[in-house]
Chains A and B, each alone.
Chain A
Amino acid sequence: MLTVSGSPHVHGDSSVKKIMYTVVFAMVPAMLVSVYFFGLDALRVLVISSLACLFFEWLIQKYLIKGPVTINDGSALVTGILLAFNVPSDLPAWILIVGAFIAIGMAKMSFGGLGKNPFNPALVGRVFLLISFPVQMTSWPEPRLLFGGTASYPDAMGGATPLAFLKEGLKNNSVPELMEKMPDMMSNLIGFIGGSLGEVSAVALLLGAVYMLIKKVISWHIPVAYIGSVLIFTGILWLIDPNAYADPMFHLLTGGLILGAFFMATDMVSSPISPMGQIIFGIGCGVITILIRVWGAYPEGVSFAILIMNAFTPLINLGFKPKRFGEKLKAA
């Protein structure tokens, strides 16, 4: 028996599963760092969030959609880990499970499952929790060293994230005064600061980001445009008045910017198709992030910025087409 089908007759070795597990693998350094700084609580959050996401996907596919179950494709696991990365390590389990249900049930499956969701599911889950449970979602445990190091977290901070500390403190103090009381640059870089468990360590996140870039799971366009626009925007503000605005490096290293720019804004499903569109998307994310951080009600704006730009993605896709072959008529 001969098979007859249209060309091409060979297929490359890429698959959805490979892409998803590459992302999971890229998140391993950040997972390890989160356990190091927040202890077994971080592990608890990671496990509960992942299992809950997998469970809800299975439940919905099997009993509501009654279709094929695809929980082993890795996409629900990615959502689970990302959701865990976006919450405080001491978040009660039941709130986490509610977040997983919203992420998978509402943001992903009700739109048709993998590939059909207009918004990043983990971020929808996170923002839902932030709005519904603001107290639990913004009380951060102090980072501590799992193996009993001598370093201690600055007393003045309590459990606040540097961004929250800045926002609150600016009511009565200038930026340089606040900076004195906050962790130094090195702490920011390795992640010895308060925050969601996955966002704290710039080094660990960048390690994963490089891996994803090498594996071509993400392209440079969104992260570079996103981070670049944040640096430029905050740089201009800082040059205007260093007493009222924090410097660009602070904005880069203290919040969820690196996590968002490399791991969430780059979500294939909810970001634009063409390189130009991706750059526009990245710039939009950067500008909105800073608008919220500097003038908005929340200390952090990454989640909102990405979700807002997700909503613009169809429009960006319409307006920014890839460079076509033979577009420019060259004189013969």
Chain B
Amino acid sequence: MGILKTFSLGGVHPPENKLSADKAIEVMPLPKQAFIPLNQNLGAPGVPQVQKGDEIKVGQLIAKGEAFISSNVHSPVSGKVLKVDNVVDPSGYKRPAFVVNVEGDEWVESIDRSPEFIKEIKLSQKEIIDKIHDLGIVGLGGATFPSHVKLMVPEGKTAEVLIINGVECEPYLTADHRVMLEKGDEVMVGTSILMKGLGVKRAVIGIENNKKDAISHLTELAKNYEGIEICPLKVKYPQGGEKQLIKATIKREVPSGKLPIEVGAVVNNVGTAFAVYEAVQKNKPLIERVVTITGKSVSKPGNFMARIGTPIAELVEKAGGLPDDSGKLIGGGPMMGKALLSLDTPIVKGSSGILILREDESKRVEMKNCIRCARCVSVCPMGLEPLLLAQQSEGEMWDDAEKDRIMDCIECGSCHYTCPSGRPLLDYIRLGKNKVGQIIRNRGKK
């Protein structure tokens, strides 16, 4: 294999703790009640298409994404719409959601529910993009950017290579790993569809070397598909960051403030490739996804195919119940995930995992003076100076922070992770990004 590729600047290696790596995907039973937020994507929320009291079926459009960066939402369950109410979603905010009383499991007829695997791609480039748009596919890596928008290459730019993110660099999470192992062919077809949608002849699937089984499985499968390479990568966080993955796989650096298309690349997650397969080949909207439930005290950590809108409590129950020593509930991985407020939070399109930390793992270490050791600088994958940016944010020196490229921060948390003084560098930098972002937007308005 030779020397494994990776990105060049910074990075850390937190303990991997992939407790559920060998647990096959289990299908979750239907929830009794589903909570389906109208906004499950980056961008504008969907506009409701059904009302209180309506009977709905699985796969029925219930919220329409009308803005350019927006996405459709389909019902993951059948039953009666109880109400449209404000529900705390994984972001921690109360947002409008459909509350559905689940009755039976009745699907709209257009969805192909047969187990048949379809390899041949019949749709044209435009039809593919429309289908992905209609069926509400968003990036499943966590950012939930509407997938059809990524396929529409802006004028003057050319896409050369599709990069599929099978890195899963967050500790604990194994959902993508299981998808690659169990839905390998579907991922390959999904990748081929995305290549066609994008109009490129080359795709690279980047996978970290702690998933050797997935690497060998997909490498074997790739022989049957044209233009798809498997790229094993050295284990290093945050390799799943879009810019880091592009650097690691094709050695190109996306310039500051620019999108990957600037260097001819478009990145999609393996989970997204699977969802694209289901949408384009089986006409199935994004109504379920694989979610890892894990944690050191969780008695049965595992990977579950869960309908969107399922309350986390039911998943946790399935994984053996909430451990007594639980201290923190995280939506996503330990590095970039969000702490959840309650077990009633529903699974949404962007939920890759639920991590339950023990009480003793939940508290931050005591904060001390910065000793200017510059470890945060050496681990920053964007080549920034986190200690300086945090200081500037604390002192409200927004101009300086902008000049020192605070907006380049990808919020990977490597700085805080590595700080010997336990300083919450990313907290300050997030605050600064928020302010500087506002200033930049206001400047644009003038």
* A6 B430 Cβ-Cβ under 8 A: yes
B91 at the A/B interface (Cβ < 8 Å)?
no
B111 at the interface (CB under 8 A from A): no
In the complex, the answer to whether B373 meets A19 with C-beta atoms within 8 Å is yes
B222 proximal to A (CB < 8 A): no
Cβ-neighbour of B372 out of A2, A268, A324, A330 (below 8 A)? A268
Q: Would you give the shortest CB distance from A163 to chain B, in whole angstroms? A: 31
CB neighbours (8 Å) of B430 from chain A are: 6
A7 x B256 contact (CB < 8 A) = no
Contact flags (1/0) for B330-351 with A, using CB distance below 8 Å? 1000111111111000000000
0/1 string, A1-31, CB within 8 A of B gives 1: 1111111111110111011000000000000
CB 8 Å contact bits of B155-194 with A (1 = contact, 0 = none): 0011010000000000100000000000000000000000
- Does A131 reach chain B (CB closer than 8 Å)? no
Contacts of A10 in B (CB 8 A): 14-15, 171, 334-335, 361, 417
Residues of A contacting B357 in the complex (Cβ-Cβ under 8 angstroms): 9
- Report whether A3 and B371 are in contact in the complex, using a CB–CB cutoff of 8 Å: no
A325 and B408 in contact (CB under 8 A), knowing A5-B364, A16-B371? yes
B369 touches A114 (CB 8 A): yes
B427 & A6 in contact (Cβ 8 Å cutoff): yes
List the B side residues contacting A112 at CB < 8 Å.
369
Q: Taking A18-B420, A326-B258 as contacts, is the C-beta distance between A7 and B338 under 8 angstroms? A: yes
Q: Establish whether residues A11 and B422, one from each chain, have CB atoms under 8 Å apart when the complex forms.
A: yes
A273 within 8 Å of B (CB atoms): yes
* B426, A325: Cβ atoms closer than 8 Å: no
Indicate whether B128 reaches chain A with its CB closer than 8 angstroms: no
Q: Which residues of A contact B372 (CB under 8 A)?
A: 115, 268-270, 273
Q: Are A19 and B371 in contact (CB under 8 A)?
A: yes
Q: How far is the CB of B263 from chain A (nearest CB, A)?
A: 5
Contact residue among A16, A324, A330 (Cβ-Cβ distance under 8 Å from B382): A324
Please judge, given known A-B contacts A2-B341, A268-B373, A273-B372, whether A7 and B413 are in contact too, CB under 8 Å.
yes
How far apart are the CA atoms of A19 and B418 in the complex, in Å? 13
Docked complex Cα distance between A60 and B325 (Å): 41
| B121: Cβ under 8 A from any A Cβ | no
Set of chain A residues within 8 Å of B413, measured between Cβ atoms = 7-8
Asked if A322 and B337 sit within 8 Å, CB to CB, the answer is: no
Residue of B with least CB distance to A331: B263
Say yes or no: A324 contacts B256, CB within 8 Å.
yes
Give, as a whole number of angstroms, the nearest-CB distance from B202 to chain A.
14
**Contact between A3 and B327 (Cβ–Cβ < 8 Å)?**
yes
Q: Which residue of A lies closest to B421 (CB)?
A: A16
CA of A117 to CA of B182, assembled, Å: 57
Contact with A along B360-397 (1 / 0, CB 8 A): 01111100111111110110111111011000000000
Main secondary structure, interface of A, reads: loop
Q: Min CB distance, A25 to chain B, in Å?
A: 16
B319 in the interface, Cβ–Cβ < 8 Å? no
* Nearest-Cβ distance from residue A111 to partner chain B, whole angstroms: 11
Please tell me if the beta carbons of A324 and B384 are within 8 angstroms of each other in the complex: yes
Give CA–CA (A15, B366) in the complex, Å: 10
Q: Does B9 contact A (CB under 8 A)?
A: yes
Q: A325 to B337, Cβ gap below 8 A?
A: no
**Nearest A residue to B247 by beta-carbon distance?**
A325
Query: How far apart are B296's CB and chain A's nearest CB, in angstroms?
Result: 11
Within 8 A of B (CB), among A278-332: 317, 321-330, 332
Contacts of A14 in B (CB 8 A): 375, 418-420
In residues 79-118 of chain B, which contact A (Cβ within 8 Å)? 92
A169 CB to nearest chain B CB (Å)? 42
Q: Is B229 an interface residue (CB 8 A)?
A: no
Which single member of B253, B369, B427 contacts A330 (CB below 8 Å)? B253
- What is the number of residues of chain B that contact chain A, defined by CB distance less than 8 Å? 76
Central interface residue in A5, A11, A16, A113, by most chain B CB within 10 Å: A11
- The reply on B69 being an interface residue by CB < 8 A is no
Neighbouring A residues of B342 by C-beta, 8 Å: 2
A322-B377 in contact (CB<8A): yes
A181 within 8 A of B: no
Q: Does B210 contact A (CB under 8 A)?
A: no
User: Which B residues are CB-close (under 8 A) to A322?
Assistant: 377, 380, 383-385
B224 to chain A, nearest CB (A): 30
Which residues of A are found within 8 Å of B329, using beta-carbon distances?
2
B134 to chain A, nearest CB (A): 31
Q: Is B149 an interface residue (CB 8 A)?
A: no
Distance between A23 CB and nearest chain B CB, rounded to angstroms: 11
B437 close to chain A: CB less than 8 A: no
Q: How far is the CA of A266 from the CA of B14 in the complex (A)?
A: 27
Contact with B along A251-284 (1 / 0, CB 8 A): 0000000000000000011100110000000000
B330's closest neighbor in chain A, by CB? Answer: A9
- Contact of B370 with A321 in the complex, beta carbons under 8 Å: no
| CB of A16 to closest CB in B, whole Å | 5
Task: Write the B240-271 contact mask toward A (1 if CB under 8 angstroms, else 0).
Answer: 00010001000011111010001110000000
Task: Provide the residues of chain B in CB contact with A6, threshold 8 Å.
Answer: 339, 424, 426-427, 430
In the complex, A270 Cα to B330 Cα: how many Å?
A: 38
B435 at the interface (CB under 8 A from A): no
Interface: A215 (CB within 8 A): no
Closest to A20 in B: B371
- Let me know if B211 is at the binding interface, CB within 8 A: no
Q: Tell me which residues across on chain A come within 8 A of B255, comparing CB atoms.
A: 326, 329-330
Complex Cα–Cα for A219 and B378 (A): 10
Contact A16 B420 (CB under 8 A): yes
Complex CA gap A327/B383 in Å reads 9
A69 CB to closest chain B CB (Å) equals 13
Which residue of the partner chain B has the closest CB to A113?
B369
Residues of B within 8 A of A62 (CB): none
**Known contacts A10-B171, A19-B371, A115-B372; is A326 also within 8 Å of B243 by CB?**
yes
Complex: how many Å from CA A15 to CA B373?
11
Neighbouring A residues of B371 by C-beta, 8 Å: 16, 19, 75, 114-115, 268-269
CA distance A242 to B322 in the complex (A): 78
If A6-B426, A8-B417 touch, does A328 touch B335 (CB 8 Å cutoff)?
Answer: no
Instruction: List 4 additional A-B contacts (Cβ < 8 Å) besides A7-B339, A322-B377, A324-B382.
Output: A16-B420, A70-B368, A322-B385, A324-B383
- Chain B residues with CB under 8 Å of chain A are 9, 12, 14-15, 92, 157-158, 160, 171, 243, 247, 252-256, 258, 262-264, 326-330, 334-342, 355, 357, 361-365, 368-375, 377-378, 380-385, 387-388, 404-405, 408, 411, 413-414, 416-422, 424, 426-427, 430
The 5 closest A-B pairs by CB, nearest first: A8-B413, A115-B369, A324-B383, A14-B420, A268-B373
| 11 A-B pairs in the complex with CB atoms less than 8 angstroms apart | A1-B327, A2-B327, A3-B362, A5-B339, A7-B413, A273-B388, A324-B382, A324-B405, A325-B247, A326-B253, A326-B254
Interface residues of A, Cβ cutoff 8 Å to B = 1-12, 14-16, 18-19, 70, 73, 75, 112-116, 219, 268-270, 273-274, 317, 321-330, 332
